[in-house]
Amino acid sequence: THTHTHPPHTTTTTPPALESGRQEDRPGLQSGPAVGCGRDMAFHSELGDEKAFKIQRAEDGVPDLTKISDIDNAGIALNLRTRFARDEIYTCCGTILVACNPFKRLTCFEADDVRRYTGKRFGGEPPHIFATAEAAFDNIRQKEGNQSVVISGESGSGKTETTKLILQYLTAVTNNPAWIEQQILEANTVLEAFGNARTLRNNNSSRFGKFTQVCFSHECNITGCSIEDYLLEKSRVSFQAEGERGYHVFYQLCAACRANTDDRLRYMVEAPKSYRYLSQSTCVAIDGVDDRAMFDDLRRAMTVLDMPADMQHEVFATLSAVLLLGNLEFADIDGESVDFTSSDTALLQKICLLLKTDQAALQKALQYRQIVVRGTPSDIPLRIKDAQANRDASAQTVYERLFKLLIAHMNQKTNPGGRVASFIGVLDIFGFENFKINSFEQLC
């Protein structure tokens, strides 16, 4: 929850996923979030003040949707499509910014573009996410109070990329120690590895929501940031629809261990097809994505975030243990209980070595559930379907706690302490997708 000071300034952004989607999925238009810039800020068209309120035609690709003559679904779609065909992915709707995913790399996010929007009023230049970021930052400079950028849109619309572009702009226009900028930007590398996955519509879809609070000093320089996560899609750890993948980090770890014998032996990692959790969807690779190189980037980001070598080791060991948990099969005992097969026993030994836990305690947790009657605990044997569900729930919980541990570490390293005069909050909520099987996490 975020409370604005007077006057309220809310920015809702519909982002472009510049590299998240697939070119072959390009249906024409896929809209992202929207950005609002303050109730007392007048909007000026890029065509000039004297023509600012002249009604214009949608087929011309007007930069502000409020100026077109036919403000209906067809007119809005035509206007967006016309601009999209010219690689003009941003369109204003008054003080709200709408973005269409280009599904390709564009050249409008370079240092020259940052300079173009620095210090400019909203509407003084063509619509752009940098204009929205500048509007929020200008209100910080003018002591208008804390600001929020709310990013919403369907899956694949580019919300995560827009968040990164806002952070890129804010770090570029402020005078900060290099390590602060580096840690803020590298935190995204870790979050994407552990919280993003390939879906049918998006090769790099965020499967969690997050609120990033960028903190500023009285001199309007960045002093740090904090991240709060929402609703990680835990079910993706153990199940993916056909053609999708689990979280990127699993495949990155497998690729790195395939190339490094020491890591393969240390973490007991095999190829993705060896794991039930990674092979059931038949998709283990993404065209044009080098998982091994991405793993190198992940390790570098962890180092920038001051993550000790022993903590990195424990993170990767835990990931391997989660994958091995999914390979436990269980033997059905008269339909009333389960036991472990010989292959299960070998897997349990590896899992306990990786997690540094007691094997007898783990076996009991996987075979029984405990109830308490009148203060007396009783162990009830699990039937095979219940044991399998318990196994998957355990793997999901371990992964979720690992994810939260990483965020807690990043927040500790980027914590501004008491050096906070104001902040810009960026809310990135994941988009909804309707699958054949929708889990609780997906529906909420």
150 DSSP β-pair partners: 12, 427
Contact 193, 201 (CB under 8 A): no
Residue of 178, 181, 160, 159 lying closest to 170 (CA atoms): 181
Number of H helices, E strands in the chain: 14, 13
Q: How far, in Å, CA of 301 to CA of 204, rounded? A: 18
Q: How far, in Å, CA of 16 to CA of 31, rounded? A: 8
Q: Which two tokens stand for residue 97?
A: 């910014």
**CA distances to 41, 169, 309 from 90, in Å:** 19, 16, 43
- Cβ neighbors of 147 (< 8 A, separation 6 or more) are 4, 9, 11, 136, 137, 139, 140, 422, 423, 424, 425
As annotated, the active-site residues are 155-156, 160, 202, 205-206, 431, 433
Contact 238, 198 (CB under 8 A): no
- Burial of 375: CB neighbours in 10 Å, binned 0-12, 13-18, 19+: exposed
Q: How far, in Å, CA of 55 to CA of 380, rounded? A: 72
Residue of 266, 239, 240 lying closest to 253 (CA atoms): 266
